[in-house]
Amino acid sequence: MSKNPVLSAVDIWKSYGNGATFLSIIRGACIEISEGEVVSIVGPSGSGKSTFLHVCGVLDPPDRGTVSVRSMDVWSVSESRRAKIRNGELGFIFQFHHLLDEFTMLENVAMPSMLAGNSRKEALDSAAMLLKEVGLSGRGQHFPSESSGGERQRAAVARALILSPSVVLADEPTGNLDSANSRNVEDLMFKLAERRNQAFIIATHSIELAGRAHRCFTLDDGILRS
């Protein structure tokens, strides 16, 4: 496994509200992930797993602390530069696939590439290769409504990879699937980590999934512990 760090978060603090409604969510959390590494984060509901992923994924700023992607402090650069980092270096998988019903599976996977300015042909060609890689080569022209939950989540994984991000942040990626489909999606992420040297940070309630990761962290009462 390569030891080149792709993302590091140092002394992350995050809270919401003020006065009587003040709620401290993350308190001094630190994490670093390297190419090809799968890191899991577990913790009870409401412990701040999603909040921490949003900060690491450049979706929500920390109150203090630094997040670096490929050694660049993303919260110290301009918003336009930050948007390029978020769109190009980070991929996202959520509990619900968020595919667009009016587009085919192929078009859904290609969408981030087209939005990034690539030609439709280039985006669709890349999407077709990714669908093959995640085991959906025969499903590209089907719509999400014509696909199973497991197939839709596999397409969501492919979509997260379309721009070859440095790290994929997955928030309960198997939380909406039955046990068989959960295992299939888990297997897929670990195969991709090995085959593509792809880094994953996975927030999950699944002890089985967390235990398969190269490293597992627990987030409780705002504290991230290894």
CA angle 5, 64, 83 (to 5 degrees): 60
Q: How far apart are CA 115 and CA 26, in angstroms?
A: 33
Strand order in the sheet with 167-171: 90-93, 167-171, 199-203, 38-42, 215-220, 223-225
pLDDT score at 159: 93
Q: How far apart are CA 139 and CA 135, in angstroms?
A: 9
Nearest to 157 by CA among 125, 133, 141: 133
Specify the pairing of strand 90-93 against strand 167-171: parallel
Q: In which element (H, E) is residue 7 found?
A: strand 5-16
79 token code pair:
């918003």
Nearest to 55 by CA among 78, 34, 19, 29: 29
pLDDT score at 1: 44
Nearest to 103 by CA among 58, 159, 53, 57: 159
DSSP H helices in the chain: 49-56, 79-89, 105-115, 120-133, 149-161, 179-196, 207-212
**CATH architecture for segment(s) 37-61+78-225:** 3-Layer(aba) Sandwich (3.40)
CB distance 202 to 213 below 8 Å = yes
Mean pLDDT by 10 residues, the chain (226 residues): 80 84 87 94 87 93 94 91 90 85 94 92 95 90 91 92 93 85 90 92 90 93 89
pTM, entire model: 0.89
DSSP 8-state symbol, 75:
G
pLDDT score at 107: 95
- In the block, which residue shows the tokens 């939380």? 175
Measured from the Cβ of residue 11, the count of other Cβ atoms closer than 10 Å reads: 12
